[in-house]
């Protein structure tokens, strides 16, 4: 039985912080925190006591440069001009 749900959103660059949130199965917030480096993320997962009883969801940063040319052009956010 899962006791915790861990959400991690990774920063797109090394200059910005990543975020982590932990909720229990009753949707109560256990932890919300900022992580400033990959060492902080590793430290969090190594020291979280109920990792084996948790589900983890990781949000990867969007990197537009990983798309090839056609899809990079089509993925640009456009704003309508009135």
- The tens digit of pLDDT for each residue in 33-81 reads 999 988 898 999 999 988 999 999 988 776 655 555 555 555 556 565 6
Distance CA 3, CA 24 (A): 6
Assign residue 53 the CATH number of its domain.
Answer: 3.30.420.380
- State whether residue 54 is helix, strand or coil: strand
Within a domain: 66: yes
Q: Please give the model's pTM, rounded to 2 decimal places.
A: 0.69
Within a domain: 70: yes
Q: Note down the domain range covering 36.
A: 4-74
Distance CA 77, CA 71 (A): 12
Residue 38's pLDDT is what? 85
- Of 5-14, 20-29, 53-62, 71-80, where does the model show the most confidence? 20-29
Within a domain: 17: yes
Distance CA 19, CA 36 (A): 9
Q: How many domains does the chain have?
A: 1
């Amino acid at each position: 039985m899962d006791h915790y749900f861990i959400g991690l959103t990774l920063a797109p660059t090394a200059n910005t912080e990543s975020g982590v949130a932990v909720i229990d199965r009753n949707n109560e917030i256990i932890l919300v925190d900022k992580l400033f480096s990959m060492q902080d993320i590793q430290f969090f997962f190594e020291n979280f006591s109920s990792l084996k009883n948790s589900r983890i969801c990781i949000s990867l940063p969007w990197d537009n440069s990983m798309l090839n040319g056609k899809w990079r052009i089509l993925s640009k956010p456009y704003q309508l001009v009135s």
